[in-house]
């Protein structure tokens, strides 16, 4: 999780709310330990609930940024559940690439 010195170097305000996922969670075991015994739907619920808890604690939050690339598969689920915009690293790369290599439309 990016905090403190990392965020200071890019001028992110010190009071910017940041929260990670519990280190003993199924999601962390799924990623860190490659524990595939945990059903994907359980991981999905856990990730959405972690985001919901964060927003419940900070109702002033208007959008979420997921810095972990492993959270990208849950972006739409989190957005649907919370009714907030959710941004992830994969979407950022796709957006950036679209600017470098714009789509050509065949308009004949």
Mean pLDDT of all residues in 76-102: 96
The domain spans of the chain are 21-100
Tokens 């799924």 correspond to what residue? 30
What pLDDT was estimated at residue 16?
87
3, pLDDT greater than 80:
no
Q: What is the mean pLDDT of the chain?
A: 93
Q: Sorting pLDDT into bands at 50, 70 and 90, what band is 5?
A: confident
Residue 87, pLDDT > 90, answer yes
Give the tens place of pLDDT for each residue, 93-104.
999 999 999 999
Interatomic CA distance for residues 62 and 80, integer angstroms: 14
Is the distance from CB of 91 to CB of 69 less than 8 angstroms?
no
> How many other CB atoms are there within 10 angstroms of residue 57's CB atom?
10
Model-level pTM?
Answer: 0.85
Can you give the C-alpha Rg of the chain in angstroms? 16
**CB-based burial label for 45 (10 Å; 0-12, 13-18, 19+):** middle
């Amino acid at each position: 999780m990016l905090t403190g010195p990392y965020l200071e170097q890019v001028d992110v305000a010190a009071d910017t709310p940041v929260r990670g996922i519990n280190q003993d969670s199924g999601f962390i075991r799924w990623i860190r330990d490659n524990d595939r015994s945990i059903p994907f739907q359980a991981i999905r619920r856990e990730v959405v609930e972690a985001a919901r808890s964060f927003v419940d604690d900070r109702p002033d939050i208007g959008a979420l940024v997921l810095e972990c690339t492993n959270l990208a598969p849950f972006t739409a689920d989190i957005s649907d559940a919370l009714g907030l915009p959710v941004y992830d690293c994969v979407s950022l790369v796709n957006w950036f690439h679209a600017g470098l290599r714009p789509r050509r439309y065949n308009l004949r």
